[in-house]
Structure 1
Amino acid sequence: MAYRATHEAMPLFGVYALLFAEQGLDAAQITSLLAVWSVTAFVLEVPSGAWADLLDRRRLLIASAVVYTSAFVTWLLAPSYWGFLAGFVLWSLSDAMKSGTFEAFLYDELAAAGRTHRYGLVRARAETAGVVVMGLAIAAAAPLHQAGGFALVGWVSVAMTLVHLLVAVSLPRAAPVEPPPEEEVVPPPEPVSAAAWLHTLRAGVHEAASAPAVRRVLLAYAAVVALVGLDEYFNLVLAEGGTSVPVIAWVMAGIVLAEAVGTWFADRVALLDRGAHAALVLGAGLLLAWGAWASGTGVWSFGALGVGYAAASSVYVAGDIRLQSAMSGDARATVTSVAGVVAEGGFLVALGLVGLGSLWWDLPEVVAAVALTLALPATLSAWRAPPARPSATAS
């Protein structure tokens, strides 16, 4: 999902922001780049999902990887505000093309092989791998910059996007469809057109809004995203609590490792019944609130933030597994993209509440209060969200 891709890359944005500053950009310009990046991904999310239900998904993933590479090449060829802006638009387009497409491709390929029971396991492991690689990328940024500055970091980034492209090219082609019986009359497929795209878009949005199981999963999904989104303030909360910068770096590394552990078990979390699901979400909210409130007390607050964030992240990834299990229509990529838009909405709610509260109170207290406030609807919606079918997550 575009939200997830953009959100996970936020720590990398902090690294690139320092590089942009070296190229002469000021804080306002860097902030506007972040805004354009987020807004573009939000606008393109659902429309691109509808195309993924009409076009060859493997080719769309390859095209997404090509656009991703072009984003970083643009930065290197035009290291200016407008070059960076164009690169972020391309990055958002790439994320939108991949959003929903990857999840639908994975599910349908497993379905063609009669192995949909592997979806949850593969999805959870893929998420964990992404978290670990992101952590390694952040750790590598400093020595790369020291060795070769902006250019070396940029070209290594391009090299990594080419690896991404090679992986996309190596994906299996669509499984052959069994021919229908001779007596069965099958209408020819609808040609790819604007009308077909609009029809698919409507079908996906309709399923997301009207199918009770899908709608409940989407609401739970948005509610837990609001909790996950609080990680954007962890650095500031720790700093205001008196934690030194070197210690903050180690704490954030630990939180990333905790997130990797949490996502590893997401396939099992997707199977939790409503009571256990709600209890895990409530526990995550309480731990995040306590970790923020007690941010100056040392290791216990660090642990609370890490465990709370790991639990919330695990529930978040499990939400996609529950969603794929709940869907029954043909617009799988479109519905998944709708989930991305819903997720972005939950994230914006969290940002808005923290921003408003910080006008009057200190940030640790605000984040703690927002975590407690958001934990209530997240817990209630988790209680109502149906678990994934065991056949969708069994290892």
Structure 2
Amino acid sequence: MTDLQLTSPPSTPSLSEVEAYLLRSGWSRTASDRATVWVPSGDAHAGLQVALPRRETVLDLRVQIDEAVKVVAYVEGRTVAETTSSIVTGGADTVSLRLMPNLPSGTATLATLEESIAALRALVVGSAAALNNSDLVLPSRRSALVESYAANAHVSTRPGSFILDLALPLAAGTDTRPDHPNQESLVDVKPRPFGRSVTERIRTVARNALAMAERVQYGNASIEEFGRQDLRLGNALELDALARMGGDLGTPYQLRLSQSALAQRTAPSTVLRASSAQRARLAEASEFLRSTQPQTGVSVEGFVVRLFRDGGFGKGDVTVRSILDDSGKLKSCVMSLTEEDYAEALRAHDKGLLVAAKGNLITAGTRKRLTDVIDFRVTVQLA
């Protein structure tokens, strides 16, 4: 599922958007007849200032705003594109993916682009879901908050080297843009908003997972280390996403993370590089977790594809094809059912009906079994 919104690069913000951003990010202002002068807080950038016209009717308005944004970006230690995105979206952290395909600069194949956008979405979903779920393999269904937040992220491209800029809103709402251009408060951003927690999680997991992948590559650690939750190496969905970014596993990529000034900044802009070898190890780690980690309270829904029992009566084993984990792929799962439930499974198989059940999922290699099965039932026929 790749429902990230692919948009054009952020354009020059309006005068009111820049003023509201400066005010909310701690700049102080003084006004004269012709201009408003803004000064950053603190002594680190003493002497720097931004001058903006008091009216939007001046002829060189765009030029003055562009120059102002450059100064703001310098003060924040971000790129102009990152700061512009935060201004026009009402507050957004940025995750930038620099693709490095073996192609002319600024180009990438459709397959690489599709895979990378899907991986960015999976990374956001995996990190957002991990804020309230510490399982190393996430369930196939996520909360409405996680899904809506991922859907509200925007991806844009930059000229030159092929870069995908992912703008992650600080607020976890469906719309962080102001209803009116003169509205001073663009969005109610808490000191540690949901979006900041997501980007901090992405930063921590990406840094730790890449470092561990390097150790595994050189024989200084085993792939089993990724099963240790205390190391904060990420869940299977996050690791799979970090492996798939950039398309072909034979190419490296760079990941840059920067924080908006509209919430308390906890880290400077960070650049991480993933080699082809590290990506391969991350793919192995993701598969390792999905093939070894037990899952409790799993809901299974799918079609019966196989039934087996000794004789014509009693309990038996039923195999169901269903999406069982965060990979989104159909997999086979075996469950032992009572004689009554087995009869229902047989009826569902004969009539092409969906079945559902809950239980604990045990994985051994490629074999998966649902134990402690409860609430087995026939649901509805697929239209």
TM interval, short-chain normalised: under 0.3
Higher relative contact order (CA 8 A, sep 6+): 1
- Structure 1 or 2: larger strand share? 2
With structure 1 as the length reference, what TM-score do the two structures score? 0.23
- Greater C-alpha Rg: 2
With structure 2 as the length reference, what TM-score do the two structures score? 0.23
- Structure 1 or 2: larger helix share? 1
